[in-house]
Amino acid sequence: MPPSNDKLLEGPILRSLLTLAVPIVLANVLQSAYQIIDAFWVGRLGGAAVAAVSVSFPVMFLMVAVGAGLSIAGSTLIAQYVGARNEKMVGHVAGQTLLMVVLAAIVLGAIGYALAPLLLRLMGVGPDVYGGALGFMRVSFLGLVFNFSFFVFQGIMRSIGRPALPVYIVLGTVFLNFALNPLMIFGWGPIPGHGVMGAALTTLVTQCLASLIGIAILRRGAHGIHVHAADLIPDFQHIKRAFFLGLPASIDMSARALALMVMTFLVTSFGTLSLAAYGVGGNVLQAVAIIPGIGLSIAVAALAGQNIGAGKVDRAERIGRLGAALGFWVLTAFGLLVFLIASPLIAFFVPNDAEVIAEGARFLRIMALSWGFYGAQFALIGVFRAAGSMMVSMLLTVVSTWVLQLPVAYILSKQTSLGVDGIYWSLPISAVLIFFITVAVFAKGDWRKKRLIGEEERLMNRVTDEILSDESPR
C-alpha cells in the first residue's frame, strides 16, 4: 500500500512540506534543464536560432498544458485516496490517468505536427527563423506522448509521498541530454548536425527513455504503487470523472499558454532582437521562478490533498499559508540575485550578441523583483487544486493573463512610449495584482467545502485499515 505517510498528516508542517517540496522542485528544475541546455547550445548558432526556439515554446507549452491539466486531476484523486487509505483505487486511478493522458498526447501530437506551418505563419516569424522553428516544433510534437507519460509518473509519485524517485531519473537523462545536444545540433565527423531541430531530437530521445523507465516502475509495483494490467483497461466512468475534474485545470494551463503565445505575437512585432531577448529572459524566468513556483504548488497540493483526504481541512489551510510564505521569500531572494547578475546571466546563453545581452538584461531587471508574488500565489493555488476546486484555479489564471497581463502589455507597448518595455512591465504588474486577488479568494474559504471523497467512504477506509493493522502479525 502506498503509505498515507502519517508523518505527512501529523507533526510539523514545515518539515512535511519540505520533505515533498525539495525533491519536487529539484525534479522540476532538472526537467527545465532540457530547455536551458537547448538554449545554451542553440545560442551558439546566433540570435535567429534562439528566436526559433523562443517562438516554438509557447506553442509547445499550450499542448503540454492540456496533458498536465489532466494529470493534475489524477494526482488530486490519488492523493485523496492515499489519505483515505484506499489501495485499490490508488492503482486504478493511476492506470486510468496514464491511459487517458497518453491518448490525449497522441491526438494533440498529430494535430500539432500537421498545423505547425500554419501556426508559424500566423505568428509572423521571419524567414531567418521559420526553418529552424518548424523543425524544432514538429519534433517536439512527436515527443508529446513521452513528455505526458513522464508527467503522469511524476504526479503519481508525488501524490503517494515519494517524490524523490523521479529526481534520479531526470538527473540521468539531463546529463545524457547535455552530452547528446552538441552532437545532434552541430554534428561530429560523419554524423551530420541538424541545427535547431537537433536540440528537439535530443530531448525526444531522453524523454522517451525517462517515460519508459517510469512506466516500468509503475508496472513492477516495487515503489509503493502497482499498476496492474487490468488498471489499463479503459474505465469510461472513471475517465469521464477525471476528464471533467481535470478539464478546468487544462483550461487553466491552456489559458496561460495561449497568453504566452499572444505575448510572443506582441514581442515579434518589435523584431528579432526583442524576440531573442524575450526568449532568453523567459528561459531564466521559467527556470528560476516559474518552475520552482509550480514545484512548490505541486508539493502543497500533494500534502494538502492527503490531509483533506484524511479529513484534516484546517491543517490543509495551514499548509497553504506556510507554503505561500515560503514561496514568497525564497523566490524574492532568487529574484534579487538575478537582478544583480542579469547581464552575465544572459551572456551565458548568448555570448556573442551584445545587443541581445543588453535587451535581455533589461527584461530581467524589470521583472525579477516581483518573483516572490508568483511563489506565494502558486502555493495557494496548490490548496485549491488539492481540494478539487479546479474552477477557482482556472478563473484566477484567466483573470491574471487575459484580464490583467495581456491588456496591460498591449496598452503599455502600443499606446505609450515604452515600446517593448511595456510588455516586460506587464509581468510584474499582473503578478502583484493577482496575488492579492488570490489571497482574498483563499481567505473567503469556499474551497474548504469541496469534497471528492465522501465522509462515509473515508471513514470506511480508515476502519478497514485499522482492522488490518490490528490483525497483522507482530
DSSP state of 193: P
Specify whether the CB–CB gap between 74 and 217 falls below 8 A.
Answer: no
DSSP 250-295: HHHHHHHHHHHHHHHHHHHTT-HHHHHHHHHHHHHHIIIIIHHHHH
Alpha-carbon gap, residue 321 to 92, rounded angstroms:
32
Here the cell at position 135 is 523543425
Element (H, E) at 214: helix 196-220
CA distances from residue 198 to 141, 151, 283 in whole angstroms, order as listed: 14, 23, 19
Strand partners, 187: 192
Cβ(292)–Cβ(25) under 8 Å? yes
Residue 125 · residue 268 · CB < 8 Å? yes
448 in Cβ contact with 313 (< 8 Å):
yes
Reading the chain (474 residues) residue by residue, the pLDDT tens digits are 444 455 566 667 888 888 878 887 777 777 677 777 777 777 777 777 777 777 777 777 777 777 777 777 777 777 777 766 767 777 788 888 888 888 888 998 999 899 888 888 887 777 877 888 888 889 989 998 998 888 888 878 877 777 778 888 888 888 898 888 888 888 776 777 787 888 888 889 998 999 999 888 888 876 667 787 887 788 888 777 777 777 777 787 778 777 877 888 888 888 888 888 888 888 788 778 888 888 888 889 878 887 887 778 888 899 999 999 999 999 999 999 999 999 999 998 888 788 889 999 999 999 999 999 999 999 999 999 888 787 888 899 889 999 999 999 999 999 999 999 999 999 999 999 999 999 999 999 888 876 555 544 444 444 334 433 443 443
Residue of 426, 399, 397 whose CA lies nearest to 410: 426
Q: 167-182 burial, b if ≥16 CB within 10 A, otherwise e?
A: bebbeebbeebbebbb
DSSP classification of residue 399:
I
What distance in Å separates the CA atoms of residue 64 and residue 61, rounded to the nearest whole number? 5
Q: How far apart are CA 60 and CA 141, in angstroms?
A: 7
- Between CA 444 and CA 383 the distance in angstroms is 13
Sequence-distant (6+) residues with CB within 8 A of 421 are 362, 366, 412, 413
Q: 313 is written with which cell numbers?
A: 481541512
